[in-house]
């Protein structure tokens, strides 16, 4: 990827009105940006405007802080929420795990293969089990055992560590603890969770046992931004695997693992590529 041009990605969201595409395109053009991809979506029901612009900065005629000043002014005129990121500043990702390794391994493999453009400065866990995986990948591993009594205190320490490391994205890679409202609200649209999904959905313990008893023919997974409403945040990605009566509970768990890691990796990649805007309970995802 050396020699790749310096690029930026701009995401904006505001109430819809005429002229928004022209205004931003003109501003960027006036300063030498070369648009590589631009997708705009207007939501008819909400009357909202969403846009992603991915552009080459190599011939930009102003420094990026001045570009951001101009964007701040222009976006301010239209009441836009906006954010911009740059290809030379990798996002910093923390992965939270418990005992299951499949999602963690998958994310680490994909990063090695160049699929996920990010740094992973730390892995956090409530269990020591996956320490050696972190070590093999040269990533510090921090254990925060959690009990009902210690939860608030331990979460505070975790939050401090995450902020100290300037973490942009927190990935719950089968982290088996429910985050407190304080935690999720500290990192809005910056925590991605993965959970199983079946048709019908099963709540409570041992979902795969319930799915087996009910004889479902699909096993699925959903990746979403974590909010204070458990498993109710904006959905980013979903997929399923076929199941049959032949499948034991172990088989369903295996299929669940396959679809979990594929769906989680997809969601993380889209976030790292600034393809997602969360809006209320929904996401807009630009491909």
Beta strands in the chain (DSSP E): 7-15, 34-43, 48-56, 81-86, 91-97, 118-125, 141-143, 169-172, 191-198, 218-225, 235-242, 276-279, 282-285
* Catalytic center residues: 231
Closest CB to a copy of itself among residues 28, 169:
28
**Binding region for a copy of itself (CB under 8 A):** 18-22, 25-26, 28-29, 32-45, 59, 101-102, 105, 109, 112-115, 136, 197-201, 212-218, 220, 222, 234-240, 244-246, 248, 250, 254, 257-258, 262, 281-285, 287
User: Minimum Å distance from CB 14 to a copy of itself?
Assistant: 14
Closest CB to a copy of itself among residues 49, 183:
49
Would you tell me how many other CB atoms lie within 10 Å of the CB of residue 196?
21
User: Minimum Å distance from CB 61 to a copy of itself?
Assistant: 12
User: Minimum Å distance from CB 271 to a copy of itself?
Assistant: 15
CA distance linking residue 55 with residue 37, whole number of Å: 7
Q: What is the DSSP letter of 157?
A: H
CA distance linking residue 234 with residue 41, whole number of Å: 17
Closest CB to a copy of itself among residues 36, 152:
36
* Phi then psi dihedrals of residue 104, to 5 deg: -60, -50
Closest CB to a copy of itself among residues 31, 142:
31
Task: Indicate the SS3 state at residue 258.
Answer: helix
User: Minimum Å distance from CB 281 to a copy of itself?
Assistant: 6
């Amino acid at each position: 990827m050396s020699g790749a041009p310096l690029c930026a990605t701009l995401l904006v969201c505001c109430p819809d009105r005429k002229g928004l595409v022209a205004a931003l395109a003109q501003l960027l053009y006036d300063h030498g940006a070369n648009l590589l991809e631009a997708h705009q979506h207007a939501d008819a029901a909400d009357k909202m405007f969403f846009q992603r612009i991915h552009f080459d900065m190599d011939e930009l005629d102003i420094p990026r802080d001045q570009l951001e000043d101009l964007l701040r002014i222009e976006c301010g005129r239209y009441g836009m929420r906006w954010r911009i990121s740059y290809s030379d500043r990798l996002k910093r990702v923390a992965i939270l795990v418990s005992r299951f390794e499949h999602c963690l391994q998958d994310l680490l493999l994909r990063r090695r293969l160049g699929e996920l453009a990010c740094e992973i400065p730390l892995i956090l866990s409530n269990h020591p089990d996956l320490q050696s995986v972190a070590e093999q990948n040269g990533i510090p591993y921090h254990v925060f055992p959690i009990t009902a009594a210690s939860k608030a205190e331990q979460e505070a320490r975790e939050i401090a560590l995450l902020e100290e490391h300037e973490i942009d994205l927190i990935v719950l890679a089968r982290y088996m603890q429910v985050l407190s409202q304080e935690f999720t609200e500290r990192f809005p649209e910056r925590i991605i969770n993965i959970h199983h999904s079946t048709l019908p959905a099963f709540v409570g313990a041992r979902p795969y046992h319930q799915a087996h008893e009910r004889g479902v023919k699909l096993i699925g997974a959903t990746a979403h931004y974590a909010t204070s409403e458990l498993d109710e945040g904006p959905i980013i990605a979903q997929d399923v695997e076929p199941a049959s009566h032949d499948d034991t509970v172990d088989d369903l768990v295996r299929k669940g693992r396959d679809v979990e890691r594929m769906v989680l990796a997809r969601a993380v990649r889209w976030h790292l590529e600034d393809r997602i805007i969360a809006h209320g309970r929904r996401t807009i995802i630009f491909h």
